[in-house]
Amino acid sequence: MKQYNILFLCTHNSARSILGEALASTHPSGLFVGYSAGSTPGTTVNPIAQDLAIEMGMDSTKLKSKSWDVFGEANAPKMDFIVTVCDNAAGEVCPVWPGNPATAHWGFPDPSQVEGSDLEKKAAFVSVMNGLKKRIDILASMPLDKLDSMSLKEIHTKA
C-alpha cells in the first residue's frame, strides 16, 4: 500500500500543525505519513498538543517545532499534500516544494490563545483535533492518486 506524505504548516509549529502531523501519522487507514513545520517555529511544542499527540500513539521523540525550510531541502521527504492550518501561514510566501504537491488551507483558530481553566484550554485543542480528524478522514476516503489542489481544498467545505 502506498503511503502519502502530508505536511501541516502553521506559523509556530507548536499546536495545530503538531496535531495534524500526529493525526495523519496515526490514522487507522495507514495511508499517511504526517509531518509538520512552521514559518517561524517556536522552541517547544505546546504541552496540551504534545499530550494529545502522545495519546494518539505518536512517538514523542518526533514532536518538535521545526522550520518549513527543512522540507524544501534536497534530501527532505517529497510531499504529496501540504496543508496550512492557520491563517497567518496561509498568507505567507511559502518555499517552493519539490514534486508539485497538492495544497490547501484548512484554517483553525489557535487553541493556545484560549484563556480560562485547564479544562477550557484542553477543550479548544480537542476541538481543533476533531476538526482536523474529520478532514483527514474525508481525505483518506478520496482517490488520493488523483487528488489535486482544488479537490484538497474542497475537503474544508465538506467537514
Q: What is the mean pLDDT of each run of 10 residues along the chain (159 residues)?
A: 93 94 98 94 94 96 92 88 78 68 90 95 98 96 79 71
Phi, psi of 35 (to 5 degrees): -140, 160
Q: Write down the pLDDT at residue 88.
A: 64
Q: Grid coordinates standing for 49?
A: 498538543
The answer to whether 18 and 50 are in contact (CB under 8 A) is yes
3-state helix, strand, coil in the chain (%, to 5): 45, 15, 40
Q: Write down the pLDDT at residue 154.
A: 74
Domains of the chain: 4-158 (3.40.50.2300)
Q: Write down the pLDDT at residue 113.
A: 93
The answer to whether 55 and 79 are in contact (CB under 8 A) is no
Q: Could you tell me the end-to-end alpha-carbon distance of the chain, in angstroms, rounded to an integer?
A: 26
Q: Give the DSSP H or E segment for 157.
A: helix 149-158
Q: How far apart are CA 107 and CA 109, in angstroms?
A: 7
Nearest Cα to Cα of residue 153 among 106, 119, 92, 112: 106
Q: Write down the pLDDT at residue 98.
A: 75
Helices then strands (H, E): number in the chain? 5, 4
Q: Write down the pLDDT at residue 15.
A: 96
